[in-house]
Amino acid sequence: MLGDGLAILAIPLLVLQLTRSPVAAVLASLPGSVGYLAAGLPAGVLVDRLDPWRVLIAGASISDDLSSDCAEIYDPAVNRSNSRAS
């Protein structure tokens, strides 16, 4: 969560520094804000109706899978070392 918050702050500031255009900085921040609204509001309603423990386990599992996928994309050696272990 902290990294997401810093990215929401840093990306518009970086665009502002590079372009010196406040409009470009606002446009750079819109996808993140719209994404949180589009996904967060329906997800909040859905999560309120489900078992909190299962939601927690599913979220941790998805986060772990995405993290390992990103590691494999970033460093292909990670994929080779995992395939030798199996």
Q: Is residue 45 part of a domain?
A: no
Distance CA 78, CA 55 (A): 28
Instruction: Specify the pLDDT at position 70.
Output: 73
Whole-number Å distance between alpha carbons of 32 and 81 = 34
* Pair 31, 62 in one domain: no
**Tens of pLDDT along the chain (86 residues)?**
567 778 788 889 999 999 999 999 999 888 877 877 888 889 889 989 999 899 999 988 988 888 877 777 766 665 555 555 54
For the chain, the domain total comes to 2
Would residue 67 count as lying in a domain? yes
What is the domain extent for residue 2?
1-36
- Please give the pLDDT value at position 53: 93
11's tokens:
């990306």
Unique residue bearing structure tokens 């750079």: 28
Examine the domain organization and report whether 56 and 86 are in the same domain: yes
3-class DSSP assignment, residue 41: helix
59 within some domain = yes
Q: Give alpha helix (H) positions in 1-86.
A: 2-19, 22-49, 52-74, 76-85
Any domain includes 24: yes
Asked, for residue 55, whether it belongs to a domain, the answer is yes
The tokens for 85 are: 């272990």
Does the residue 44 lie in any domain? Answer: no
Q: Is residue 64 part of a domain?
A: yes
- State the pLDDT at residue 79: 57
Decide: 13 and 32 in contact? Cβ < 8 Å: no
Q: Is residue 42 part of a domain?
A: no
